[in-house]
Amino acid sequence: MRPLPRPFEFTPWHQLHQRWLSALAEADPQVFGQDVDPRIADALADVAETLVQRDPPVAGALRRMGGTLGADGWPLPRVHHWVVVAASTLPRRHRRRLTDLAATGHLARGWAAEHLRGVRSATCIDAITGLVTPLVLAAHMHEAAAVCRVNGVDATDRHAVLVADLDLLAVPHGDRHAVLITAAALLTSLLPDDTVARCEGRLVALLDRDRITDVLLDRIRNDLDLLVCSARPFVWTDAVPSVDAHIDAYVRALSEPFVG
C-alpha cells in the first residue's frame, strides 16, 4: 500500500514561498526586511513551485535562480545562503533537494553563466565562488602593509592569512564547482568582514593575526571535513609579507596548483 504523503506534499507552493520570505527576513533583513526585489522574490517562487510540484526536477529552477541573481550582481555565497535558509524550513527529508552537492552545483553553474555577462568584472570577482580574485587579495595586502608602515608596525606582526587547500583533482569533475562554492560559503559565513579570495584550488582569507585562534581553526577544519571531505581540505596559516616587493610574488605562489 502506498504511504500517505506527508504534510509538505499538501502545502501550496505560494504558502511555502511566503514561509521562505519570512525566514529570510530574519536571516538577511537588509535584503528581505522590506520591499523585496521582485526578481529575487520571483526566483524563489519558481523554486518553491517546482519543489512542490516535483515535476520538472528542481535542478532547473535552481539554475534559473542562480542565473537571474548572478546577472544582477548578487554574490554567489549570499545566494547560496538564501537557499540554505529556505531549505531549513522544509521537512528534513526534503532539505537535501536544495542543499546537497548536486543542487549546489546547479545553482553555481546558473550563477556563473550569467554573472560573467552581468555587472561585475571577472578581474575582481571569481566567477565560480563569488570571492575576490588574487588581484584584489594582493591589493588588500598592499593596503594593509601601507597602513602598518604609517603606524610604525610590521605587517607580519599585525596580519595573517588563513588558507584552505582543496584537492580538486580528488573530486569528480562534475562536483568541483559545488565543492568550491560550498567551501567559499562556509569561509565567508565565518569571516564575514574579512577579505576571502579564491586562488585556484586555495581559498585564502586575510585577517588580523590576533583573530586566528585554535577555536576558529578547529571550527573551519571540522566544518570543511564535514561538508567537502572529498576534496581532502587542509587548513593552515601564514604571515603576511611586510615588503611590497614580496606581496605579488607571494600571491602568485598561492595560486599555484595544490598537490595533495
Indicate if 237 and 145 belong to the same structural domain.
yes
124 located within any domain: no
CATH value at residue 223: 3.30.70.270
158 located within any domain: yes
CA dist list (Å): 92 to 17, 30, 189, 198, 223: 17, 28, 22, 32, 20
Indicate if 52 and 100 belong to the same structural domain.
yes
Please report, as a single letter, which amino acid is at residue 216.
L
pLDDT at 18: 93
Indicate if 111 and 143 belong to the same structural domain.
no
pLDDT at 258 over 60: no
Give the whole-angstrom CA distance, residue 54 versus residue 74. Answer: 27
2 located within any domain: no
Residue 66 φ/ψ, nearest 5 degrees: -60, -45
232: confidence class by pLDDT, cuts 50, 70, 90: very high
**SS3 assignment, position 108:** helix
Give the whole-angstrom CA distance, residue 242 versus residue 158. Answer: 10
**SS3 assignment, position 260:** coil
Look up the domain containing 222 and give its range.
134-254
Indicate if 193 and 105 belong to the same structural domain.
no
- From 115, 148, 169, give the residue that closes a domain: 115
- From 50, 80, 115, give the residue that closes a domain: 115
pLDDT by residue (tens digit) across 47-88? 999 988 866 689 999 999 998 998 887 877 788 899 999 999
pLDDT at 124: 79
259 located within any domain: no
pTM, rounded to two decimals: 0.59
Q: In which residue are the cell numbers 534559473 written?
A: 64
Give the chain's domain count.
2
